[in-house]
A = this chain, B = another copy of it.
């Protein structure tokens, strides 16, 4: 299946609500898991070794806040990612390293041209590919080490799919932020696997702003998900 339903911890900005928000996130996560829905915590954590290990414990393996996968920030370097990668690998969970994000400001550091002739994001991709090359693969050839590449960068998706054949891509920016089905098709491998395309506002608010009929909202969200899935599968088939 090219499109998975996931719980996106970010869209509703649970943390902005403080402790009650985090309680709500824990409840939603638990409920999603009883339904078999994978939970990707888009928390973008990153810290030095001992703290990274503590975050990995909280969000990947232990307690009520843990999900199936976590997004992580690479600015501190490979040693800061290692506790997350190791934990994910050991426990059957996953991580997605921020590589090329969907916002316009991503050019400031991620696209900075290096003396070696490549942009910074490509230098990071090479390091991640080397690490993924050492890791066990699932039946489709993928490791626990995934990356985040925005739907708003179609040419980067094709380039990075080739550099990182063992990584699942988490692709935000579909829909409201401007990414199309044809843009994201390049994130999938030759078998139509290896990418999770994320849409938030276009699904959450498919029936209009918050406050309307919740029954209508469910049907509208389901309809928007099916349209999105079919559009992406169509674009993959046309490649």
Contact = CB atoms under 8 A, between A and B. Distances in A.
Contact of A19 (B23, B77, B103, B113): B23
Given A18-B65, A19-B65, A106-B77, A10 B101 contact: no
Question: Copy number of this protein in the oligomer?
Answer: 2
A176 B75 CA distance: 22
A94 B48 CA distance: 22
Given A17-B58, A55-B16, A105 B120 contact: no
Contacts of A116: 113
Interface residues of A, number: 56
A10 to B, nearest CB: 5
A45 B47 contact: no
A76 B98 contact: yes
Interface of A: 10, 13, 15-19, 21-23, 26, 44-51, 54-55, 57-58, 62-65, 73-80, 98, 101-110, 112-117, 120, 123-124, 127
